[in-house]
A and B are shown apart, each in its own frame.
Chain A
Amino acid sequence: MKSIIEVRNYTKKYGDFTAVDDVSFSVKEGSIFAFLGPNGAGKSTTINTLVTMMEKTSGTLIIDGKDVSTEKDEVRKAIGVVFQTQTLDEKMTVTENLNMHCVFYGVPKNEVKDRIHFVLDLVDLLDWKDKSVSNLSGGMKRRVEIARALLHYPKVLFLDEPTSGLDPQTRNKMWEYITRLQKEKNITIFLTTHYMDEAEICDHVAIMDNGKIMVDDTPANLKRRYTKDKATVQVKNPALFEETLIKENFSFKKEKNIFHVVVDIDDIQQFLDLIQLFKNEVKDLEIKKGTLNDVFLEITGKEIREEASE
């Protein structure tokens, strides 16, 4: 698959402060690419430069073969953007908002009606098309914004924290729309998020910290590289269990009280054999797979948190 976004040696400085430092990455056409990082890592700066709202200091940024700095209008036609903050026209109705977008993007007049119907249907908002935007809930507004960003049939959809501030149910819905879009329309989706479980769904994840990209890989590869599965075990005879663990070369931590043992698992078979020996001793057993959150912690040393903005 060919790359639709190509970033090479991109640097952005604010005076003396380097927000993004010599970053390179690429995004494959038709994939979902998640951009993670603690607040202030340079994510928003990167996304703002990619969507032509901010000038780079140096480097090359290409979207769909067009240069972000010199072919702005071409790039703008090729992308749809949903910003972190809301950008709807509150005083107008949903349809009026969508109509306006078609005007700005030069959508042929005779297609406007059909396209509006199509995108509203996609986000299940057809019943709301004549309502004023100010009457919509936060989740609905976000859906209108996604629908709007699709009106001009972009090749790449940028979503800056599309689900922040939404309740879990709406979040799930939103993800349904996003993945459906990617599958049905083969749109490339570039998003930032604070939720690690959301990043797990993506094809590719890049983690940014202090203006640099620390890792850039598939979620599965990242977990393989940076995390271990962990087992939390409580046994009746912890002393014996510990002795066995040492003998069998398991690395482990004792937590809280002696009954609570966290075991790093390299080989699940070996661990099952061990548990087999203690099958009458085990009071409680929980096995946790490594998560992207562990990867994130490992790489940035920071817990990811949801905050207003960076």
Chain B
Amino acid sequence: MRTISALWLRNIRGFVRDRVKLVTSLVIPFFFLYVFSSIFKTDQVEDPTAFLLAGIIVATVFQTSLNIATSTIDDTVSGFMKEILVSPTSRFKVALGQILSAATIATAQGILILIIGFFTGLRFNNWETIIYVLFALMLVGLVFSGLGLFLASMVKSASTFQVVQQAVVLPFTFLSGAYIPIDFLPKVLKFVSYFNPMTYTTAFFRTIMLEKGGLPQGDLLKLGLAFDLNGFIITPWMSGGIIAIFGALFLYLATNSFVRADFNKISRNPLVRR
């Protein structure tokens, strides 16, 4: 427990001390909110800003979670990971500490955007919604921190990871309905988006945040909160289940590959060492 909490605290500290990261990660969501709000100005949605805000929160939490990978690779490149790995502490606990801190930071980011959202007119009808939203944010953060750590322990160098991150972030966010409704996508991409865990994450979170859980199936389908796969309807609650399954898979893969990863191979300078 001591290892997990100490690593958690260290990573949170590191994030808070990095002011530039903190500010940019808060500014960028509002840039997206501004840019994409015109797309959502359709008559199906009564509150397009809230609708988009929910998507942006999910996308931000997702991207922040993936940053765990960057910070893990940074730790490897800076040599600090070596200090951890030569100690008798268990790698599993190190992996958990990394994942939990990333999930925490991601959730905090989501909350910050949510708070700013309240100032721009976001309102909940039921006060319990806020609790559900918090739990949903934590779930999302945890799931994708797992994915992030998994990617980090697979990658051999920091520059490779840059490419991998781009390759993951772009399709995951843009083919999920977070920024652009899936119905706007070309047929092929729409098909692809059904394999994207972020699609279900977005639908699940949006349903909770916009308090649409009680709507009939037809309305949910219209709003893109439920999906019709050849007559089989995926409800928002099933989406939640799908995320949980993805989460379990990611966490398993992440801890497993982190425990086995050979961090000797990632070096600060590819020209030095074999």
Contact = CB atoms under 8 A, between A and B. Distances in A.
B273 A309 contact: yes
A63 to B, nearest CB: 13
Interface stretch (B82-90, B184-192, B207-215): B82-90
B78 A104 contact: no
A81 B79 CA distance: 13
Contacts of A54: 264
A51 B88 CA distance: 11
**Interface range, A side:** 20 to 34
Contacts of A48: 264
Contact of A100 (B6, B17, B18, B273): B6
Contacts of A81: 86
A83 B272 contact: no
B2 interface: yes
Nearest to B273: A309
A105 interface: yes
B3 A104 contact: yes
Contacts of A103: 2-3, 6, 89
Contact of B85 (A53, A86, A92, A101): A53
Contact of B88 (A90, A96, A105, A310): A105
B6 A90 contact: no
Interface string A81-94: 10101111111100
Contacts of A106: 2, 88-89
B129 to A, nearest CB: 37
A129 interface: no
Contacts of A52: 86
Given A86-B79, A91-B17, A100-B6, A53 B274 contact: no
B260 interface: no
A160 to B, nearest CB: 11
B14 interface: yes
Contacts of A87: 78-80, 82-83
A89 B78 contact: yes
Given A89-B10, A92-B13, A103-B2, A73 B79 contact: no
Interface string B11-46: 001100110000000000000000000000000000
B268 interface: yes
Q: Which of A86, A103, A148, A310 has the most CB of B within 10 A?
A: A103
A117 interface: no
Given A53-B264, A103-B2, A103-B6, A88 B80 contact: yes
A281 to B, nearest CB: 55
B83 A77 contact: no
Interface residues of B, number: 25
Contacts of B3: 103-104
| Interface SS, A side | loop
Contacts of B80: 87-90
Contacts of A1: none
B82 A309 contact: no
Nearest to B268: A85
A91 B14 contact: yes
A274 B273 CA distance: 53
Contacts of B18: 91
Contacts of A91: 13-14, 17-18
A86 B274 CA distance: 18
Interface in A65-82: 72-74, 76-77, 81
B6 A76 contact: no
A101 B87 contact: yes
Contacts of B2: 103, 106
Interface string B67-92: 00000000100111011111111000
Q: Which of A74, A87, A101 has the most CB of B within 10 A?
A: A87
Interface string A47-59: 0100111100000
Nearest to B80: A89
A96 B80 CA distance: 13
A92 B10 CA distance: 8
Interface string A218-229: 000000000000
B241 to A, nearest CB: 37
Interface string A239-273: 00000000000000000000000000000000000
A104 B272 contact: no
Contacts of B13: 91-92, 96
B4 to A, nearest CB: 10
A5 B83 CA distance: 21
Contacts of A308: 272
Nearest to A307: B272
Contacts of A53: 82, 85-86, 264
Contacts of A88: 78-80, 83
Contact of B79 (A14, A72, A74, A85): A85
A203 B273 CA distance: 30
Nearest to A14: B274
A92 B14 contact: yes
Question: What are the nearest 6 A-B pairs in CB distance?
Answer: A104-B87, A87-B79, A103-B6, A76-B88, A73-B88, A87-B83
Given A51-B86, A100-B6, 4 more contacts: A85-B79, A88-B80, A89-B78, A91-B13
11 contacts: A53-B82, A73-B88, A85-B82, A88-B80, A89-B75, A91-B18, A92-B10, A96-B10, A103-B2, A104-B87, A106-B88
